[in-house]
Homo-oligomer: A and B are copies of this chain.
Amino acid sequence: MSSPIFQNILIYGLGLMGASLALTIKKQFPNSKIHAIVRSQESKLKIESMQIVHSVFIESEFLAQENPEKFWGEYDLIVFGTPVHLIKKQLTHIPKKLSAVITDMGSTKKTIIDAVASYYDGQSDHNYISSHPMCGSELAGAENAIDGLYQDKLCILTPLENSNREGLNRLRSFWEAMGMRTHVLDEVSHDRILAYLSHSPHILSSLMVTWADTHVGDENKKSPQPIMGGGFRDMARIAGSNPEMWQAILSENRLSILESLKEFGSLLEKTIHSLESGSPEEWEKLFLDAAQHKKHLIES
């Protein structure tokens, strides 16, 4: 049992990510106290019955407390497990001078970092460092919490210029203790890379299913089993999952996604042109190139 990096942890928002984090902390640092903020009395009762945290507060009551410095000051780590558009408001409730390390688990970074920078405007040093633990599930909610959700996954850390460096180091050690590998990345690169490797692929998968069903769905239905191989199925797995969450990601990272989709459109246009007037050697090259790029991107 290692000595806990943080003793009193507040998880603000206990959905699938937050509840899975509570499970992992409990396992790695059984002496740490974990507290949670939820939105409703119903959620509070649900979380209490799960016995995964030491205390549960309802958001409106927690925020209405007098002397906020005292209450917030009881924690040495505060983690937002809420959606990005809420984090941007919620973080402004936290007193500006606080020794706790503050982070979030948002899947886009630019708009959070902008909100943090604006909140701490002019302050020479603060403890906010944004995190993006790259894990998740097709399910949602604390009731679907997964014990090993963070294990062997990547956590991207995005500090601001004024983020305290010791805070960054402690947060990095914390995520590593949760079983993750860490990587520091600025918010612009983060959002651009994620547009290509996660956000736009979710859109492309969704478009692919809509396109195929629109054009050949009814004919496909006449077959005793779907006329498709494992390739299409794999590509369709993430299509249409969690529309509310993906709308939010799209709203937060609209410009990077747009740029990347336009690049995809150009490549598709070139391919269509090659199919119209090119040679079989050119068509074979399309797959040979992809094999090379796949090796560079994923395999080696």
Pairwise interchain contact A211-B241, C-beta atoms closer than 8 A: no
Pairwise interchain contact A290-B204, C-beta atoms closer than 8 A: no
Enumerate chain B residues within 8 angstroms of A289, measured Cβ to Cβ. Answer: 206, 210, 240
Enumerate chain B residues within 8 angstroms of A242, measured Cβ to Cβ. Answer: 287
Give the docked Cα–Cα distance between A220 and B295 (Å).
Answer: 13
Enumerate chain B residues within 8 angstroms of A220, measured Cβ to Cβ. Answer: 193, 197, 297
- Copies held by the complex: 2
Given known A-B contacts A241-B291, A293-B214, A271 and B203 have beta carbons under 8 A apart: yes
Give the docked Cα–Cα distance between A51 and B262 (Å).
Answer: 54
Give the docked Cα–Cα distance between A237 and B201 (Å).
Answer: 13
Enumerate chain B residues within 8 angstroms of A94, measured Cβ to Cβ. Answer: none
Question: What are the interface flags for A70-91 relative to B under an 8 Å C-beta threshold, 1 for contact and 0 otherwise?
Answer: 0000000000000000000000
Give A148 Cβ to nearest chain B Cβ, in Å.
Answer: 14
- A176-234 contacts to B, CB under 8 A, are 181-183, 185, 189, 192-194, 196-198, 201-217, 219-229, 231-234
Pairwise interchain contact A294-B154, C-beta atoms closer than 8 A: no
Pairwise interchain contact B203-A288, C-beta atoms closer than 8 A: no
Give A260 Cβ to nearest chain B Cβ, in Å.
Answer: 7
From B182, B235, B267, contact of A205 by CB (8 A):
B235
Enumerate chain B residues within 8 angstroms of A228, measured Cβ to Cβ. Answer: 134, 197-198, 298
Is A53 located at the chain interface by the 8 A CB criterion? no
Pairwise interchain contact A298-B231, C-beta atoms closer than 8 A: no
Is A40 located at the chain interface by the 8 A CB criterion? no
Extra A-B contacts (16), CB below 8 Å, given A134-B227, A134-B229, A201-B232: A136-B229, A156-B223, A181-B224, A196-B211, A203-B271, A209-B297, A213-B297, A220-B297, A221-B296, A231-B237, A239-B290, A239-B293, A244-B284, A254-B275, A261-B275, A265-B272
What are 12 pairs between A and B in contact, CB < 8 Å?
Answer: A205-B235, A207-B264, A209-B293, A213-B293, A217-B296, A231-B238, A240-B288, A241-B287, A243-B287, A244-B284, A261-B268, A265-B269
Chain A positions within 8 Å of B, measured between CB atoms, are 134-136, 154, 156, 181-183, 185, 189, 192-194, 196-198, 201-217, 219-229, 231-244, 246-247, 250-251, 254, 257-258, 260-265, 267-269, 271-272, 275-276, 280, 283-294, 296-298
